[in-house]
Amino acid sequence: MSTLQINPTTQVPARPSSGLTAWWTETRVFALRNLEHIRQVPEKLLDVTLQPLMFVMLFAYVFGGAIKVEGGYRDFILAGVMIQSLTFGMMGPGTAIATDLTEGVIDRFRSLPVRRTAYLSGHYVAELVGQVLSMVVLMGAGLLIGWGIHSSVVSALGGFALLLVFSSLMIWIGTYVGLLVRAPDAVMGVAFVVVFPLTFVSSTFVPMDTLPGFLQGFATWNPITVMVAAVRELFGNAPSPIAHHTWPLDHPVPAAFAYCAVLLAVVVPLTIRRYRVRTTD
């Protein structure tokens, strides 16, 4: 049987004519190819391991003494740091796919007998592994500083599920941005311009009622505020006081899942379409 070789260590059978098994095999090969980069350049893990850990320690021990929250600031802060880290995690997939495009790697993949979408799905799987690692590191750091899950098993599983869904959303958004820009360096600029105000003008790090009035209105409808509130509720952590009651903040869990579902339904088809445009002669 002929074989398809994508890197020196991974071989898979040449593509069958159809079938979910064949698609998953090709997806796994591309995912392993991305993970192999991490093994060769472990510094790539700094943004999902060391950086989130630094944020936990910074806010818990540097700012924690100055910010008073009912239930304890350390219990309050971890959900915010998790959502912030996952949001900034869009830069990794965006930079990776922009680099592959500019270096002509994807053009070489097009000459192989593999489905075009297998590259995207493999890219997603590899990036999700990195995001899960980030969550594990953050929760471990949280346990060290006194954070804990104070809800039922069902609610806790719902919290983990929401984090995975939100991670998936940010990976696809980052991939879409990477397909839009013309250089990998531009991904970071776009991410900071959009993500920075969304994560900081919210209840991520401070109670929302401490913000100036005009910022409270923005924070109330900010999707990041809803995500953080949902994670805190599902894990039974200290909530943020609600400055202005709205349906999403009064029902953060269903609102958070709804936001993710709607945005995924929009961004995934846009990403696939943009990928086809960028990889078509």
For residue 181, is pLDDT > 70? yes
Average pLDDT of the segment spanning 165-183: 95
- Residues 260-274 have a mean pLDDT of 96
Show the tokens assigned to 190.
Answer: 């776009």
The reply to whether 173 falls in a domain is: yes
Q: How far apart are CA 11 and CA 195, in angstroms?
A: 39
Number of domains in the chain: 1
pLDDT of amino acid 146:
86
pTM above 0.85, yes or no: yes
How far is it, in rounded angstroms, from Cα 172 to Cα 166? 10
Specify the pLDDT at position 182.
Answer: 87
Count the Cβ atoms, other than its own, within 10 Å of residue 213: 8
Please say if the pLDDT value at position 74 is more than 80.
yes
What pLDDT sits at residue 24? 87
For residue 5, the Cα-to-chain-centroid distance in whole angstroms is 30
Q: How confident is the model at residue 21 (pLDDT cuts 50, 70, 90)?
A: confident
- pLDDT tens-digit map of 26-63: 889 889 888 887 777 666 666 667 777 888 888 888 87
pLDDT at position 281: 67
Which residues constitute the domain of residue 132? 19-278
Convert 80-91 into a string of H (helix), E (strand) and C (coil). HHHHHHHHHCCH
Would residue 52 count as lying in a domain?
A: yes
pLDDT recorded at residue 1: 39
User: Is 255 inside a domain boundary?
Assistant: yes
Please check the confidence at residue 19 and state whether its pLDDT lies above 80: no
Q: Is residue 4 part of a domain?
A: no
Residues 6+ apart with CB under 8 A from 213: none
Asked whether residue 94 is assigned to any structural domain, the reply reads: yes
Q: For residue 79, which phi and psi values (nearest 5 degrees)?
A: -60, -40
Q: Which residue is associated with the tokens 């360096």?
A: 185
Q: Under DSSP, is residue 7 helix (H, G, I), strand (E, B) or coil?
A: strand
- 31: CB partners within 8 A, 6+ apart: 121, 122, 123, 125, 126, 129
Residue 232 has pLDDT above 70, yes or no: yes
